[in-house]
Amino acid sequence: MTMKTNEVYNMECAEGMKQLPDESVDLIYADMMYDELEFNWIDECFRVLKSNGSIYVQTDQRSVAQVKLYMDKMFKFRNWIVWCYRGIARKSNCYQSNHDDILFYTKTDNFTWNQPFQSPSDSTLKRWEKYADENGNIPKDKLTPSMRKKGKTMSIRNTRMRDWWDDISVVGFKEAPKGKQHIFQKPIELIKRIILASSNPQDVVLDPFMGCGTTAIASIETNRNFIGFEIDENNYKICKDRIGTAHQITSANADPTGHLIGIKLNQALFLQEGLIKHREEQ
């Protein structure tokens, strides 16, 4: 069986990846099940990943330790990213878990990296934004006495992205398209952040656990190719349907360079379902 890019296959990922050539993908994003403790798929990820490629594995506290120990044997560790989010409080005899762990590895020390930046915190903006000039610099007379005494300066600028992400919300299932929900569906902005940082346009993004297809949608929106596997037949059907709709929307709303005009693809998918209104219609 010849595997094609921009396709998702209804099969177990390790078996599917065995049919991919060595070093044929540029980036891997894997949102694994916490109880998926058979790691033969990770071995295949190492084989198919290009020498300048990266892999991100998302899980939680139930399996992250085992995954890291296994991946440390073959990949180059870069970051342990913590994605924090607000969740529904549940009764338990321990602390409420409101984060996922994302392990970022590369295959070698020579890897694709497009430095992401983050905006200043809300507290910083609230305290200093009203004093900032057009370049984000704070006048000396607005600094605290202690800062002036020590000769410090202050400016409001975007900073290099940290490994603590608390600016992306979970998917709101009340707003998600009816019949197209996935219990572990991740927000498209989370996956886009990873894709933009660790790949370039036209690169190939592999998702071994494609679910309802968010990685594919994020790849289309960022002008990347994708390939993925989803073993659950219902999820696979949802995924294929969403990708088909995404291609239709892209064809109808893209400019000659392929960029969507006036609306994001993920928003357009919801618009297609009649669940949100475009601002021009409000």
pLDDT tens figures, 54-108: 999 999 999 999 999 999 999 999 999 999 987 666 777 888 888 999 999 999 9
Amino acid at 71: M
Which pair of tokens denotes residue 5?
Answer: 């890019």
Length of the chain: 282
- 2 within some domain: no
Nearest to 26 by CA among 123, 103, 107, 122: 107
Phi and psi for 153 in degrees, rounded to 5? Answer: -120, 165
Three-state DSSP state, 266: helix
Do 105 and 71 form a contact (C-beta atoms < 8 A)? Answer: yes
Same domain, 102 and 19: yes
- 25 within some domain: yes
Same domain, 217 and 238: yes
Same domain, 19 and 74: yes
pLDDT band of residue 9 (cuts 50, 70, 90) is: very high
Three-state DSSP state, 238: helix
Q: What DSSP string describes 126-174?
A: HHHGGG--TTSBPPGGGS-HHHHHTT---B---EE--SEE-S-PPP-TT
User: What domain range is 133 assigned to?
Assistant: 120-157
Place of tokens 């605290």: 144
Same domain, 243 and 148: no
Same domain, 146 and 55: no
Mean pLDDT, the chain, integer: 85
Same domain, 142 and 183: no
Q: What gap in Å lies between CA 57 and CA 40, rounded to an integer?
A: 14
The CATH number that applies at residue 48 is 3.40.50.150
Place of tokens 């994020």: 218
pLDDT at position 174: 47
Cβ atoms within 10 A of the Cβ of 78, count? 17
pLDDT at position 251: 65
In the chain, the percentage of residues whose pLDDT exceeds 90 is: 53
Nearest to 221 by CA among 213, 229, 209: 213
pLDDT band of residue 254 (cuts 50, 70, 90) is: low
Nearest to 204 by CA among 23, 39, 38, 72: 23
Same domain, 150 and 244: no
Three-point CA angle 136, 139, 143, nearest 5° = 105
pTM: 0.82
- 1 within some domain: no
Same domain, 23 and 63: yes
**H or E element at residue 53:** strand 49-59
pLDDT digit string, tens, across residues 28-49: 999 998 887 889 999 999 999 9
Four-point Cα dihedral 201, 207, 213, 216, nearest 10:
10
Q: What gap in Å lies between CA 174 and CA 98, rounded to an integer?
A: 19
- The number of domains in the chain is 2
Which pair of tokens denotes residue 215?
Answer: 């990685």
Amino acid at 130: K
What's the first-to-final CA gap in the chain, in angstroms?
Answer: 48
